[in-house]
Amino acid sequence: MQVKRSSLVGYCGIILALLLSCTEQAQKKQKDVSPQGTDCSQIKALQQNAPSGVYLVQPPGVKSPFKVYCEMRADGGWTVFQKRSDGRVSFDRKWAAYKNGFGSLTHDHWLGLKRVFSLTKDKTKTWIMRVDLWDHNDGTAFAEYKNFRLGNEKTAFKLHVGKYTGNAGDAIRGAYSGIDQNGYGFSTSDRDNDGCSPCIFGDIAENHCSISEQGGWWYSRCGSASLNGKWHPSGDTWVGHQEFTGTHGKPLNFTQPRQLE
């Protein structure tokens, strides 16, 4: 489905995904199955018929393995780092929760900024961040960003993305100038990095985007993308150059490691 240059309302699903493209050949399968791979893409490369589910991964340089949900569809190898489906799990959390993760890997959850950082800091691999949106009638739209990575905690897990492709609109860089979220640190209600002091929107003065949105994100003067905000029928917002608006319903955010051609 092609997305026209108008607001699309009534979308119930949002998928934020990271696609990891490996610059090295997949390593030979090790006898020790715990951990099962460095990330979901390696597991997929070694086990083409591996089902979607919870796996144990250990990125290079990480002392202890951790569990992730791997989406193993046809183009699989995706490591899910955020999923929202029915609003039962609150995303109005403080810094420690967003850093360490919360929720259930098999249901709604946030994997944790420190784990996403541990995956994307591997310089032998290149990541692509993907956002997928869908509705009750199976309408879909997506956005992809090459060269995705996060900075460490000293940078507030600063967001880095490269070239955009897709039909959902480039909401990370924003619908207008001055709200580019690329290069901004993560903000929560107790850790403000959004650049507002305050931000003026018409007759509204905004001091803290994560408090007003009721969820953590890489806010830049709030910005056009906010996928962790308050759950309500009219939903999460992803507004890009093509003005795409999604609603809360079945949001899913994940990472996918893939081999470069």
Domain boundaries, the chain: 11-174+242-259
Name the pLDDT band for 140 (thresholds 50, 70, 90): confident
Arithmetic mean of pLDDT, 16-28 = 43
Dist CA 27 CA 182 (whole Å) = 32
Helix/strand/coil for 79: strand
Strand pairing category for 11-22 and 252-259: parallel
Strand pairing category for 125-135 and 159-160: unpaired
User: Token digits for 220?
Assistant: 């830049």
Q: Which CATH class is domain 11-174+242-259?
A: alpha beta
The residue with greater pLDDT, 63 or 251, is 63
Q: Is the Cβ–Cβ distance between 228 and 251 less than 8 Å?
A: no
How many percent of the chain have pLDDT more than 90?
Answer: 36
Name the pLDDT band for 186 (thresholds 50, 70, 90): very high
Arithmetic mean of pLDDT, 88-106 = 96
Please check the confidence at residue 197 and state whether its pLDDT lies above 90.
no
Q: Is the Cβ–Cβ distance between 161 and 129 less than 8 Å?
A: yes
What's the one-letter identity of residue 260? L
Name the pLDDT band for 232 (thresholds 50, 70, 90): low
Pinpoint the alpha helices (H) of 37-182.
Answer: 40-46, 95-100, 113-120
Query: What number of CA atoms fall less than 13 Å from residue 213's CA on the CB side?
Result: 30
Predicted model pTM: 0.79
Look at residue 255 in the predicted model and tell me its pLDDT: 46
Q: Which helix H or strand E contains 141, and what residues bound it?
A: strand 140-150
Radius of gyration of the chain from Cα atoms? 18
Please check the confidence at residue 10 and state whether its pLDDT lies above 90.
no
Arithmetic mean of pLDDT, 219-229 = 85
Q: Which of 18-32, 67-81, 106-120 has the lowest mean pLDDT?
A: 18-32
Dist CA 101 CA 118 (whole Å) = 13
User: Token digits for 162?
Assistant: 């490269």
User: Token digits for 188?
Assistant: 């929560």
Please check the confidence at residue 41 and state whether its pLDDT lies above 70.
yes
